[in-house]
Amino acid sequence: MSSVALQRYLDPTILARITDLELLARSVVEGFLGGLHRSPRFGASTDFAEHRPYMPGDDIRRVDWKVYARSDRYYVKEFEADTNTDVTIALDCSRSMRFAGARGGVTKLDYAKYLAASLAYLSHRQRDRVGLVAFDDAIIEHIRPSARHLSTILHALDRLVPRGEPGDDRGAGSRDGEGPGALDAVFRLLTETIQRRGVVIVVSDLYEPPGAVLNALTHLRGRGNDIIVFHVLDRAEREFPFEQASGFRDLETGVTIPVVPESARAQYKRLVEEHVASLSKTLTDARMDYTLLDTSRPLDDALFTYLSNRQRLSKVR
pLDDT digits (tens, 9 = 90+) for 229-241: 999 999 999 998 8
Closest CA to 88 of 50, 119, 55, 110: 119
**Residues 107, 99 contacting (CB under 8 angstroms):** yes
Return the SS3 of 66.
helix
How many residues are there in the chain? 317
Cα separation, 135 vs 208, in Å, equals 15
pLDDT at 282: 97
Strands 289-294 and 256-259: unpaired
The top-scoring range by mean pLDDT among 20-24, 270-274, 307-311 is: 270-274
pLDDT tier, 90 (very low <50, low <70, confident <90, very high otherwise): very high
- 270/315 Cα distance (integer angstroms): 38
DSSP H helical segments within 16-149, as ranges? 21-35, 65-71, 108-125
**Predicted confidence (pLDDT) at residue 66 exceeds the cutoff of 70:** yes
What's the pLDDT band for 61 if we cut at 50, 70, 90? confident
pLDDT at residue number 39: 38
β-strand partners of 133: 90, 142
Query: In whole angstroms, how large is the CA radius of gyration of the chain?
Result: 21
Please say whether the structural domain 85-316 has been given the CATH code 3.30.365.10: no
At a CB cut-off of 8 Å and minimum separation 6, what does 127 contact?
A: 82, 84, 147
pLDDT (tens digit, 9 = 90+) per residue, 23-59? Answer: 888 888 887 776 654 433 444 445 565 687 887 666 7
Report the predicted TM-score, pTM, of the whole model to 2 decimal places: 0.78
pLDDT band at 85 (very low <50, low <70, confident <90, very high): confident
What pLDDT score does 9 carry? 52
Question: How is the chain split into domains, by residue range?
Answer: 48-81, 85-316
